[in-house]
Structure 1
Amino acid sequence: MLQYPDTKTNREETCMSSERKLLLTTRIPVRWGDMDAYGHVNNTVYFRYFEQARVEWLESMDFAVSPERAEAPVIINASCTFLMPVNYPATVEVRLYAGEPGRSSVMTWYELRVEGDDRLYAEGAAKVVWMDMRTGRSVALPDTLRTVFDQ
């Protein structure tokens, strides 16, 4: 099995913040078409897996992801560290964590594993900002979102 080089990332900054809370775990089947010419899941698909976890989390809190909303979450940056390749067939398990919210944003982190395997295959991060879709400016996070971190 192909293994990526041992890359020492700043895990505290990217994915392993000590001030984070597990908010969602989801399982996503790997599709044959997710693979690239090297025979493993294409790097862009990892971002889709993280996106799916983020959308499931937001929708579970009744924040429909829809272009018709006046205010909505957007991401202003995203990153992924690829630790091991994922191959078809598989089901990935994505764990979504979030940090203490700011005025208009919250940092999210992701851990990606293959179901039945405890090893970490990838880790990622994305900063989510609540935005007024008409003005393009950030607005305060909804109170209902903030209460998740008080529990």
Structure 2
Amino acid sequence: MARVLVELPLRWGDQDEYGHVNNVSFARYLEEARVRVFGPGGVHTGMDGLFHGTHDDPHKMLLATQCIEFIAVLEYSTKPAKIELWIGKVGGSSFEVHCEILDGASQERKVVARAISNLVIVDGTSLKPKRLTDAERQAVEPWGDAPLVLRRM
């Protein structure tokens, strides 16, 4: 199993009026985890800095789709949430990042949400999809694991 673990602190303001972490915060956690893995100075997986998407970068990584399946309530805690992230599928110009968000305050492995994010690599100027290079494939493929299967709506 080749997964990257990212720990993110919960913020008091992430809660909603029901006293649990709001669903919008989950999307932000997923975004931050992706930035920490793929951005410059990331978690040193070999994928860090691969697709940082700065204005002068020759290619960028764009979020095409994202589906989040909520499984359990996540209540505020001073313990960070844990996001396990892996590559579930690699396509011609895209790849799927699969994630499980875990309650960091739980003594057991408690999954509170699952998500699949489809990321497309595009040319930095035209913003048209660009095929992954061999080097890009080699960087993401070691982090492959079994793809998630989410419930359908």
TM-score range, shorter chain: 0.7 to 0.9
Give the match for residue 73 of structure 2.
Answer: 85
Deviations 1:68-117 (A, max 9, x none): 32311111000101111111113100011112421100011110101243
Deviation string, structure 1 residues 17-62 (Cα, Å, up to 9, x no partner):
xxxx634111011110111111111101101111111111112432
| Residue in structure 1 matched with residue 148 of structure 2 by the alignment | none
Hey, what does 1:12 align to over in structure 2?
none
Identity of matched residues, %: 25
Distance 2:123 2:53 in 1: 14
Q: Does 1:24 align with 2:17?
A: no
Hey, what does 1:107 align to over in structure 2? Answer: 96
Note the C-alpha offset of 1:131. 0.7
User: 1:147 aligns to what SS in structure 2?
Assistant: helix
How far off is 1:150 after superposition? 5.3
Secondary structure of the corresponding residue to residue 108 of structure 2: coil
Unaligned runs of 5+ in 2: 144-153
Gaps of 5+ in 1: 1-20
The counterpart of 2:112, out of the listed 115, 121, 126, is 121
Q: What corresponds to 2:151 in structure 1? A: none
Q: Return the TM-score normalized by structure 1.
A: 0.78
The one-letter code sitting in structure 2 at the alignment partner of 1:143 is D
Following TM superposition, where does structure 1 have runs of at least 4 consecutive aligned residues deviating by more than 3 angstroms?
Answer: none
**CA distance in 2 between partners of 1:22 and 1:57 (Å):** 13
